[in-house]
A = this chain, B = another copy of it.
Amino acid sequence: MTNFQVRTDLALEARESISEAESELRGVRVEEYYKEEEDVRVTKVMIDTKNAAKAMGKPVGIYVTMEAPAMVEPDEDYHREISECLAEELLNLLPGTEKEQSVLVVGLGNREVTADSLGPQAVDNLFITRHIVREYGKAAYNCEKMNLVSALEPGVMARTGMETAEIVKGVVQETSPDVLIVIDALAARSTRRLNRTIQITNTGIQPGSGVGNHRNALTEESLGVPVIAIGIPTVVDAATIVLDALEKFLDEEKELDAVKLIGKQQLNFPELNNMYMTGKDIDAVVKRVSYTVSEGINMALEMRMD
């Protein structure tokens, strides 16, 4: 399998793809619980050591995965119950919940490519307050505490000529937020996870992740402020699909030893580079889940004030 790049942005899938022996390695802790009323399964993967990070192929940090099958269904309330779960998990990862903060929300991705438009669409529905509080004070909202929320849609390199990280870094330095929340569409390995999984992590965005392959890091290390990333897988890598089909095929073909067979040759599908697979109803799905995400963020930032 080593000849074949399996691409996933989900820590949950990264963990599944390593063997039992490895997953019990020291430095990886896993917590799971199921919220029955909301039908949401939450898995927390905590990678505590550099060794564990290496084995998992993911940096040290906390990865919360919410599996919410209902998210693929239409709902007139945009799955408010899932937004509430997201708000709670997000709140746990946000630093310094004691006092009000300045929060910059960054919507990564390309608004013009439906499957990659989760970030831009999510920032459209945020409750933006920074400019109001700075001009009129908290009095404008009749409350004692009020976060300063701002939002940025940096666009993609093909249209800006700049790395996303350059734009975000410049804006962070100029506006000095206390924390970043970054939203991005992700690639999953399995079609089963498409559009029904939310991943929240305090490790930020790593080079090469996301649908659009944003290459530079958006992390606390690179930006100087904590970075929480929220992602939903909206695509599957074309090459991954092919691999899965091959495995299934060879599995059914009992006479063959799949792994050995694949190992013998260099599978190579250059024509699948820069291709991705998505569902035909991706427009309705992204419109809906982007709203679930933005409402979750709005709730979390409001909760902090209570």
- What is the number of residues of chain A that contact chain B, defined by CB distance less than 8 Å? 73
Chain B residues within an 8 Å CB radius of A279 = 274-275
Q: Say yes or no: is A34 at the interface (Cβ < 8 Å to chain B).
A: no
When all copies of this chain in the complex are counted, the total is 4
Interface presence of A152 (CB below 8 A): yes
A169 CA to B113 CA, complexed, in Å:
28
A161-B128, A171-B170, A174-B169 are known contacts. Are A252 and B280 too (CB-CB below 8 A)?
A: no
Bitwise, A240-261 to B at CB < 8 A (1) or not (0) is 0110011011001100000001
A99 interface contact, C-beta 8 A: no
A280 to nearest B CB, angstroms? 5
Stretch among A47-55, A86-94, A198-206, A265-273 lining the B interface: A265-273
Beyond A128-B160, A128-B161, A150-B162, 6 additional contacts (C-beta under 8 Å) are A110-B283, A129-B161, A149-B161, A151-B161, A166-B174, A191-B272
Q: Please give the residue numbers on chain A whose beta carbons come within 8 Å of chain B beta carbons, in ascending order.
A: 76, 110, 112-116, 123-124, 127-132, 148-153, 155, 157-163, 166-167, 169-175, 191-192, 211-213, 236, 238, 241-242, 245-246, 248-249, 252-253, 261, 264-265, 267, 269, 271-272, 274-284, 287, 298
